Amino acid sequence: MTSSVPAAVSASVLDLAPVVPVVVLEDAADAVPLARALVAGGLPAIEVTLRTAAALDAIRAIASEVPDAVVGAGTVISPAHVAETVAAGARFLVSPGWTDALLEAMKASGVPFLPGVSTTSEVVALLERGITEMKFFPAEAAGGTAYLKALSSPLPRARFCPTGGITPESAPSYLALPNVGCVGGSWMVPGDAVAAKDWARVERLAAGAAALVRG
């Protein structure tokens, strides 16, 4: 049985790998083989999004059966989500945005978290609260690498995981920025590969993503 208190992430989530796979699972039975393929490819941090009914069971399965994975919950948008996912074994939390209530729940959870931002004011508000690691979302729509580069001088303490519209071609430009620790993406978990249970293909794509170099 999975403990309701997940093991701590010893390093920053931003430093575990250059890419965090953003996973949407319709069938929890795919969670373990998918996670094993991603870990074998060199991507241990896996964000399972709360976009499907299978998400909690998927997190629970990965936490229980893939010890080398660092499974997290994405699309966390309420204190209830925080409680449910941490109880299921999530070892980090990612939100597309934040409110004070959500932020307090994530802080109280005892696991690392990346609150989502898309404006300078949101970044400053989090820095005021002592939070320096954030998700930049939706990255491409919100200004991409040019926006993040512009933030690096006035707000050097802020570090980001940009997510949203990032591809294998654009990821290196993000990773070259001094304020980007990693990027989130889904290109290594294409829907057709998951549907076909082609875990070898997922592993190959993960290996390519893991080989990307941070700046």
Catalytic positions, written as ranges? 47, 135
Q: Report yes or no: 41 and 204 within 8 Å, Cβ to Cβ.
A: yes
Q: Report the DSSP beta bridge partners of residue 94.
A: 114
38, containing H or E segment: helix 31-40
Tokens of 86: 């941490």
Q: What is the DSSP annotation of 138-164?
A: TTTTTTHHHHHHHHHTT-TT-EEEEBS
Q: Using DSSP, state whether 11 is helix, strand or coil.
A: coil
The CA distance from 209 to 201, in Å, is 12
